[in-house]
Amino acid sequence: MELKTLALDLGVFSVLQDKTALQVQQEPLVPGWYIDPRTGQRIFYDPNTRNFYTMGGGVYLPLMSLATPPKQVNVAPGDRLKIDVSFKYTGPAITGASIRYCVGPNGVFGFTEQLVAVETFNIPQVITPPSSPNVVNSHTFNIPTNVGTDWTCIYVKMYGGTPSLGGEVIPSYIFGYQDALVIVGTQPSITEFKIADFAKV
């Protein structure tokens, strides 16, 4: 089986102490209803959990907004899926930070983590803002035979370490792609089917 690679570009981030990071995130500071400028959807922000919610059936549903992927990767049972993460980092050295890689379906009730892996990594001190990503990490999943055809979404989050990048439950750095994967199922999909020749034998 083939090794497929999906690269996630996390853009720029810094440690929590860096005030510029807060400016980049542009999170609202007060609870209330907001309108997502990209989708026009009404969403509720709770500063205690630092999460967005939608209202469905009288309950608040956690909203996890995943980005549109730059490409889609076909994977099948037995394939290996390599997820590369890279970002630009400026700040103090960090030891023992974690990256959690997740693959699964993302629906109305949130992301269901079906494949999960945690990688631990260190970041050296960086004083000058880099011009290109200076931190990389990756994890390779083996796609199981029972993979669901809806396991199409991917997200990663970074947390922990010394000094800390933030908590695991409410991570400051989370990023994902909606429908980044195309799961090739156990039923064949046939295209360009045509009669090449026929003759008496």
Does position 142 interact with other proteins (CB under 8 A)? The reply is no
DSSP state of 46: E
Q: To which residue do tokens 């880099």 refer?
A: 130
Listed in sequence order, the DSSP H helices in 16-77 are 19-25
x/- mask, other proteins, residues 60-89, rule CB under 8 A, reads --------------xxxxxx----------
What span, in angstroms and rounded, lies between the C-alpha atoms of 151 and 70?
17
Does position 188 interact with other proteins (CB under 8 A)? The reply is yes
Q: How far is the CB of 140 from other proteins (least distance, A)?
A: 15
Which whole-number Å values give the CA distances from 43 to 6, 40, 64, 73, in the listed order?
A: 30, 9, 11, 30
In the region spanning residues 78 to 137, those forming contacts with other proteins, defined by CB under 8 A, are 78-79
Task: Count other Cβ atoms within 10 Å, centred on residue 168.
Answer: 13
Q: Is the dihedral of CA 11, 16, 21, 26 positive or negative?
A: positive
Q: Which stretch binds other proteins (CB under 8 A): 40-48, 125-133, 165-173, 189-197?
A: 189-197
Does position 59 interact with other proteins (CB under 8 A)? The reply is no
Q: Cβ neighbours of residue 139 under 8 Å, at least 6 residues apart?
A: 82, 83, 99, 101, 117, 119
**Through-space distance between the first and last CA atoms of the chain, rounded to whole angstroms:** 37
x/- mask, other proteins, residues 18-57, rule CB under 8 A, reads ----------------------------------------
Q: Which stretch binds other proteins (CB under 8 A): 34-42, 48-56, 154-162, 191-199?
A: 191-199
Q: How far is the CB of 103 from other proteins (least distance, A)?
A: 15
Can you give the C-alpha Rg of the chain in angstroms?
20
Q: How far is the CB of 101 from other proteins (least distance, A)?
A: 20
What span, in angstroms and rounded, lies between the C-alpha atoms of 163 and 178?
31
Residue 24 or 182 with smaller CB distance to other proteins: 182
In the region spanning residues 4 to 23, those forming contacts with other proteins, defined by CB under 8 A, are 4
Does position 158 interact with other proteins (CB under 8 A)? The reply is no
Q: To which residue do tokens 């979404």 refer?
A: 153
Tell me which residues touch other proteins (CB under 8 A): 1-2, 4, 74-79, 145, 147, 183-201
